[in-house]
Amino acid sequence: MTKFEGFTPEVRTWFQGLAADNSREYFAAHRDFFERSIRGQMEALLTELADTFGGQVKMFRQNRDVRFSPDKSPYKTHTYGIVHGSGTAGQGLYGSISADGLVAGGGYHVMARDQLERYREQVAGAEHGPELEKLLNRAVKAGLDVWGESVATAPRGYPKDHKRIELLRRKSLFLGATLSVSGGISRRDGLRFVERTWRAAEPVTGWLDDHVGVSSLPVARPARRR
Protein backbone atom coordinates (compact mmCIF):
# COMPACT_ATOMS: atom_id res chain seq x y z
CA MET A 1 0.00 0.00 0.00
CA THR A 2 1.25 3.47 -0.95
CA LYS A 3 2.00 5.74 1.99
CA PHE A 4 -0.09 8.90 2.15
CA GLU A 5 2.15 11.79 1.13
CA GLY A 6 -0.47 14.41 0.33
CA PHE A 7 -2.12 15.85 -2.76
CA THR A 8 -0.10 18.02 -5.13
CA PRO A 9 -1.52 21.11 -6.91
CA GLU A 10 -1.52 19.02 -10.11
CA VAL A 11 -4.41 17.00 -8.65
CA ARG A 12 -6.70 19.99 -9.13
CA THR A 13 -5.40 20.46 -12.67
CA TRP A 14 -6.12 16.80 -13.46
CA PHE A 15 -9.74 17.08 -12.32
CA GLN A 16 -10.21 20.34 -14.18
CA GLY A 17 -8.95 18.59 -17.30
CA LEU A 18 -11.39 15.73 -16.75
CA ALA A 19 -14.28 18.18 -16.35
CA ALA A 20 -13.32 19.85 -19.62
CA ASP A 21 -12.76 16.57 -21.48
CA ASN A 22 -14.67 13.77 -19.78
CA SER A 23 -13.62 11.13 -22.27
CA ARG A 24 -11.95 7.75 -22.27
CA GLU A 25 -9.13 9.27 -24.32
CA TYR A 26 -8.33 11.86 -21.65
CA PHE A 27 -8.55 9.31 -18.86
CA ALA A 28 -6.33 6.80 -20.63
CA ALA A 29 -3.71 9.44 -21.38
CA HIS A 30 -3.56 10.48 -17.71
CA ARG A 31 -4.34 7.17 -16.00
CA ASP A 32 -0.90 6.74 -14.41
CA PHE A 33 -1.18 10.07 -12.60
CA PHE A 34 -4.70 9.24 -11.48
CA GLU A 35 -3.74 5.82 -10.09
CA ARG A 36 -0.60 7.08 -8.34
CA SER A 37 -1.40 10.60 -7.16
CA ILE A 38 -5.18 10.61 -6.80
CA ARG A 39 -6.76 7.23 -6.19
CA GLY A 40 -3.61 5.80 -4.60
CA GLN A 41 -3.25 8.76 -2.25
CA MET A 42 -6.95 8.83 -1.36
CA GLU A 43 -6.89 5.15 -0.49
CA ALA A 44 -3.66 5.58 1.49
CA LEU A 45 -5.18 8.46 3.47
CA LEU A 46 -8.28 6.46 4.39
CA THR A 47 -6.26 3.35 5.19
CA GLU A 48 -3.99 5.24 7.56
CA LEU A 49 -6.97 6.77 9.38
CA ALA A 50 -8.71 3.38 9.51
CA ASP A 51 -5.83 2.27 11.75
CA THR A 52 -6.96 4.98 14.18
CA PHE A 53 -10.73 4.70 13.87
CA GLY A 54 -10.96 1.01 13.07
CA GLY A 55 -12.83 -0.47 10.14
CA GLN A 56 -12.10 -1.29 6.53
CA VAL A 57 -11.61 0.94 3.51
CA LYS A 58 -13.81 0.70 0.44
CA MET A 59 -12.90 2.72 -2.62
CA PHE A 60 -15.52 3.36 -5.28
CA ARG A 61 -15.13 3.07 -9.03
CA GLN A 62 -14.29 6.15 -11.07
CA ASN A 63 -16.60 5.00 -13.86
CA ARG A 64 -20.14 6.33 -13.78
CA ASP A 65 -23.18 4.09 -14.19
CA VAL A 66 -24.70 5.69 -17.28
CA ARG A 67 -27.30 3.03 -18.06
CA PHE A 68 -30.27 5.07 -16.84
CA SER A 69 -28.80 8.56 -17.01
CA PRO A 70 -29.16 11.11 -19.82
CA ASP A 71 -25.61 12.24 -18.96
CA LYS A 72 -23.33 9.74 -20.69
CA SER A 73 -20.05 11.18 -19.32
CA PRO A 74 -18.03 8.06 -18.49
CA TYR A 75 -16.22 9.29 -15.35
CA LYS A 76 -17.05 10.84 -12.00
CA THR A 77 -15.36 14.15 -11.32
CA HIS A 78 -14.40 13.18 -7.76
CA THR A 79 -12.60 10.16 -6.31
CA TYR A 80 -13.96 8.83 -3.04
CA GLY A 81 -14.15 6.04 -0.52
CA ILE A 82 -15.44 5.21 2.94
CA VAL A 83 -14.18 3.61 6.13
CA HIS A 84 -16.94 1.26 7.24
CA GLY A 85 -17.22 -0.84 10.38
CA SER A 86 -15.38 1.66 12.57
CA GLY A 87 -18.08 1.80 15.23
CA THR A 88 -18.03 5.60 14.86
CA ALA A 89 -20.53 5.98 12.01
CA GLY A 90 -22.91 3.23 10.94
CA GLN A 91 -22.98 4.33 7.30
CA GLY A 92 -19.26 4.90 7.12
CA LEU A 93 -16.76 7.73 7.34
CA TYR A 94 -16.49 9.50 4.00
CA GLY A 95 -13.55 11.05 2.17
CA SER A 96 -13.19 12.39 -1.38
CA ILE A 97 -10.88 14.48 -3.52
CA SER A 98 -11.81 16.66 -6.51
CA ALA A 99 -10.98 20.01 -8.08
CA ASP A 100 -12.94 21.61 -5.23
CA GLY A 101 -10.71 20.05 -2.58
CA LEU A 102 -10.55 17.32 0.02
CA VAL A 103 -13.94 16.54 1.57
CA ALA A 104 -14.47 14.60 4.79
CA GLY A 105 -17.70 13.83 6.56
CA GLY A 106 -20.20 11.40 7.97
CA GLY A 107 -23.93 10.92 8.39
CA TYR A 108 -26.86 9.32 6.59
CA HIS A 109 -26.46 10.30 2.96
CA VAL A 110 -29.57 8.31 2.00
CA MET A 111 -32.36 7.17 4.30
CA ALA A 112 -34.69 4.31 3.39
CA ARG A 113 -38.38 4.65 4.10
CA ASP A 114 -38.23 2.94 7.48
CA GLN A 115 -35.17 4.94 8.51
CA LEU A 116 -36.88 8.19 7.52
CA GLU A 117 -39.94 7.27 9.59
CA ARG A 118 -37.80 6.62 12.67
CA TYR A 119 -35.74 9.76 12.06
CA ARG A 120 -38.80 12.02 11.86
CA GLU A 121 -40.44 10.40 14.86
CA GLN A 122 -37.34 11.02 16.97
CA VAL A 123 -36.80 14.55 15.67
CA ALA A 124 -40.41 15.50 16.40
CA GLY A 125 -40.34 14.07 19.92
CA ALA A 126 -39.43 16.11 22.97
CA GLU A 127 -36.98 13.52 24.29
CA HIS A 128 -34.38 13.24 21.52
CA GLY A 129 -35.27 15.96 18.97
CA PRO A 130 -33.78 18.88 20.95
CA GLU A 131 -30.63 16.82 21.50
CA LEU A 132 -30.04 16.48 17.77
CA GLU A 133 -30.63 20.19 17.28
CA LYS A 134 -27.97 21.02 19.90
CA LEU A 135 -25.48 18.53 18.44
CA LEU A 136 -25.90 19.99 14.96
CA ASN A 137 -25.42 23.53 16.26
CA ARG A 138 -22.17 22.48 17.95
CA ALA A 139 -20.96 20.79 14.76
CA VAL A 140 -21.66 23.93 12.74
CA LYS A 141 -19.79 26.05 15.29
CA ALA A 142 -16.89 23.62 14.93
CA GLY A 143 -16.75 24.45 11.21
CA LEU A 144 -18.83 21.70 9.64
CA ASP A 145 -21.45 22.17 6.93
CA VAL A 146 -24.77 20.33 7.00
CA TRP A 147 -25.64 18.69 3.69
CA GLY A 148 -28.52 16.60 2.40
CA GLU A 149 -31.83 16.73 0.54
CA SER A 150 -35.07 18.08 1.98
CA VAL A 151 -38.69 17.92 0.90
CA ALA A 152 -40.34 21.18 -0.13
CA THR A 153 -42.89 21.31 2.67
CA ALA A 154 -43.80 19.64 5.94
CA PRO A 155 -43.89 15.82 5.73
CA ARG A 156 -47.33 14.26 5.99
CA GLY A 157 -48.51 14.08 9.58
CA TYR A 158 -46.31 16.90 10.88
CA PRO A 159 -47.38 20.53 11.38
CA LYS A 160 -45.78 23.20 9.24
CA ASP A 161 -45.03 25.29 12.32
CA HIS A 162 -43.19 22.56 14.23
CA LYS A 163 -40.20 24.09 16.04
CA ARG A 164 -37.86 21.63 14.25
CA ILE A 165 -39.56 21.72 10.86
CA GLU A 166 -36.28 22.23 8.97
CA LEU A 167 -34.93 19.00 10.42
CA LEU A 168 -38.23 17.21 9.81
CA ARG A 169 -38.14 18.18 6.13
CA ARG A 170 -34.82 16.46 5.64
CA LYS A 171 -34.56 13.26 3.58
CA SER A 172 -30.88 12.87 4.42
CA LEU A 173 -28.48 14.31 6.97
CA PHE A 174 -24.76 14.53 6.34
CA LEU A 175 -22.06 16.70 7.91
CA GLY A 176 -18.70 17.56 6.44
CA ALA A 177 -16.10 20.12 5.48
CA THR A 178 -13.87 20.91 2.51
CA LEU A 179 -10.15 21.70 2.41
CA SER A 180 -8.95 23.48 -0.73
CA VAL A 181 -6.45 21.64 -2.91
CA SER A 182 -5.53 24.64 -5.06
CA GLY A 183 -2.10 24.99 -3.47
CA GLY A 184 -1.73 21.31 -2.66
CA ILE A 185 -2.44 19.50 0.61
CA SER A 186 0.42 18.23 2.73
CA ARG A 187 0.44 14.88 4.48
CA ARG A 188 0.10 16.53 7.90
CA ASP A 189 -2.72 18.87 6.86
CA GLY A 190 -4.68 16.14 5.07
CA LEU A 191 -4.57 13.68 7.96
CA ARG A 192 -5.34 16.32 10.57
CA PHE A 193 -8.22 17.80 8.56
CA VAL A 194 -10.00 14.49 7.96
CA GLU A 195 -9.54 13.27 11.52
CA ARG A 196 -10.81 16.53 13.02
CA THR A 197 -13.82 16.56 10.69
CA TRP A 198 -14.77 12.98 11.53
CA ARG A 199 -14.39 13.67 15.25
CA ALA A 200 -16.55 16.80 15.01
CA ALA A 201 -19.28 14.85 13.17
CA GLU A 202 -19.17 11.91 15.59
CA PRO A 203 -21.83 13.14 18.06
CA VAL A 204 -24.36 13.53 15.24
CA THR A 205 -23.50 10.25 13.52
CA GLY A 206 -23.78 8.60 16.93
CA TRP A 207 -27.25 10.09 17.41
CA LEU A 208 -28.30 8.77 14.01
CA ASP A 209 -26.95 5.30 14.78
CA ASP A 210 -28.69 5.23 18.16
CA HIS A 211 -32.08 6.58 17.08
CA VAL A 212 -32.37 5.70 13.38
CA GLY A 213 -30.06 2.77 12.68
CA VAL A 214 -29.89 0.52 9.65
CA SER A 215 -32.81 -0.20 7.35
CA SER A 216 -34.66 -3.51 7.69
CA LEU A 217 -36.19 -3.23 4.22
CA PRO A 218 -35.04 -5.65 1.50
CA VAL A 219 -32.45 -4.23 -0.87
CA ALA A 220 -33.99 -3.36 -4.23
CA ARG A 221 -32.30 -5.19 -7.06
CA PRO A 222 -32.12 -3.86 -10.62
CA ALA A 223 -34.43 -5.51 -13.12
CA ARG A 224 -32.81 -8.21 -15.20
CA ARG A 225 -32.25 -7.40 -18.84
CA ARG A 226 -34.11 -9.58 -21.30
Question: pLDDT at position 90, please?
Answer: 85
The structural domains of the chain, with segments of one domain joined by +, span: 6-211
List C-alpha distances in Å: 73 to 18, 39, 211.
10, 19, 39
Distances (CA, A) of 122 to 52, 95, 98, 133, 151: 31, 28, 35, 11, 18
The tens place of each residue's pLDDT in the chain, 226 residues long, gives: 579 999 999 999 999 999 999 999 999 999 999 999 999 999 999 999 999 999 999 999 999 988 888 889 999 999 999 999 988 888 899 999 999 999 999 999 999 999 999 999 999 999 999 999 999 999 999 999 999 999 999 999 999 999 999 999 999 999 999 999 999 999 999 999 999 999 999 999 999 999 999 999 875 554 444 4
Q: CATH 3.40.50.2300: does it fit domain 6-211?
A: no
Q: What is the pTM of this model?
A: 0.92
